[in-house]
């Protein structure tokens, strides 16, 4: 499929809203690569900072051929195939990834004739099947930020791709084929249409305030508020998503720290019963689908043994009612959690709603 470069270029030259993003995406998708390589790329451009963030879908190791050569032996009338060793194929894969990253940056700067962009952040993502779970994962394996002037001094025809990438302070594991996740230098687009204005709740709390009996929407905003206080000291940002009533993503943290940070998914469960493993599985699936670095599940109750067991070894943090009270106290707020009282209050609330 060929995306309309002429139309995208026109929008770009006319400085249409979103013109840079559309033009860059079209350039990347039309770049000449094997048909089997993924072409699902995204670009976000900030005209104030003149930074273009490129979210690039990279090929997986399965896209790299194993066949090295085929020889025809005339005396036997046979074709003999030779294959790459695993080590040689892994090295080839790593080289390809570094080359794609450098080539993408080069093509975008070269075609940015109006010089709208002064800096490009390239985040390379690989979709693959996790052998431990059998489920698809989307992992950021390389990330680099490079300015136009710095990149213009590089002779790509002469460089060794990995050495060049590292000299640009690019981030990536020593073996890219291992698909070890890294935190992107700059995280994803923050203008998620799911985000809604937030409001503060913590100021209304007191020793007698029962968190387990809160309105569920107030509880989600409370969780946003307390995590905002937790992450703001690191330059982080927390946003609440549209009302979900315990489904999907309730809040998203954007932590800019290059080592610890990234996109963190938060789900809030104002429960009066034990949270079972299905909720933890759902969170893990959401973390994978959102391309997040971590998931945090917060509840007013507690978790079953199977939930804690499932979370082991995964980028998931489970916070129970006691953990939540401790977190609130850390930021100067007091409340209580009384599950028995909450059940009675919620039951009465639902009875009145049905009667009305």
Closest CA to 286 of 187, 138, 81: 138
Average pLDDT by consecutive 10-residue portion of the chain (356 residues)?
A: 68 85 92 91 85 93 87 86 89 95 97 94 90 83 93 95 94 87 69 64 90 90 87 74 54 74 87 93 87 91 91 93 94 94 92 81
DSSP state of 298: E
Q: What is the pLDDT of residue 147?
A: 92
195-355 has which CATH code?
A: 3.40.1350.10
DSSP string, 58-79: E--GGGS--EEEEEEETTTTEE
Residue ranges of domains in the chain: 5-178, 195-355
- DSSP strand pairing (171-172 vs 78-83): unpaired
CA 197 to chain centre: 22
Dist. CA 276–CA 302, nearest whole Å: 9
Check: CB of residue 303 under 8 Å from CB of residue 280: yes
Q: What is the pLDDT of residue 1?
A: 41
Q: What is the pLDDT of residue 20?
A: 92
List Cα–Cα distances, 249 to 11, 165, 235, 284, 317, in angstroms. Answer: 34, 35, 21, 11, 15
| Structure token pair of residue 334 | 């007091």
Instruction: State pTM to two decimals.
Output: 0.55
């Amino acid at each position: 499929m060929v995306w309309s470069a002429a139309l995208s270029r026109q929008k770009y030259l006319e400085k249409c809203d979103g013109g840079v993003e559309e033009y860059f995406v079209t350039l990347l998708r039309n770049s000449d690569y094997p048909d089997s390589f993924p072409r699902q790329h995204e670009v976000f451009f900030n005209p104030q900072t003149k930074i273009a963030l490129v979210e690039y879908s990279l090929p997986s190791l399965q896209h790299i051929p194993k066949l090295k050569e085929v020889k025809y032996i005339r005396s036997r009338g046979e074709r003999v195939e030779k294959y790459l060793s695993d080590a040689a194929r892994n090295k080839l894969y790593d080289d390809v990834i570094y080359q794609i990253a450098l080539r993408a940056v080069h093509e975008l700067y070269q075609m940015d004739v109006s010089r709208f962009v002064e800096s490009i952040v390239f985040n390379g993502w690989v979709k693959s099947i996790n052998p431990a779970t059998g489920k698809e994962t989307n992992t950021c394996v390389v990330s680099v930020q490079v300015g136009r002037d710095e990149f213009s001094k590089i002779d790509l025809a002469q460089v060794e791709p990995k050495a060049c990438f590292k000299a640009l302070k690019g981030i990536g594991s020593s073996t890219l084929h291992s698909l070890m996740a890294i935190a992107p230098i700059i995280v994803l687009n923050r203008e998620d249409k799911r985000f809604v204005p937030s409001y503060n709740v913590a100021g209304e709390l007191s020793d007698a305030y029962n968190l387990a009996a809160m309105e569920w929407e107030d509880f989600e905003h409370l969780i946003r508020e307390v995590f905002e206080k937790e992450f703001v000291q690191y330059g982080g940002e927390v946003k609440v998503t549209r009302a979900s009533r315990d489904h999907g993503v309730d809040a998203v943290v954007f932590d800019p720290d290059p080592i610890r940070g990234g996109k963190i998914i938060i789900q809030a469960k104002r429960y009066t019963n034990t949270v079972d493993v299905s909720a933890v599985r759902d969170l893990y699936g959401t973390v994978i689908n959102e391309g997040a670095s971590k998931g945090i599940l917060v509840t007013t109750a507690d978790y079953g043994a199977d939930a804690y067991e499932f979370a082991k070894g995964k980028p998931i943090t489970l916070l129970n009612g006691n953990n939540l009270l401790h977190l609130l106290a850390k930021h100067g707020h007091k409340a209580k959690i009384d599950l028995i009282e909450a059940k009675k209050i919620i039951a009465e609330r639902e009875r009145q709603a049905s009667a009305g």
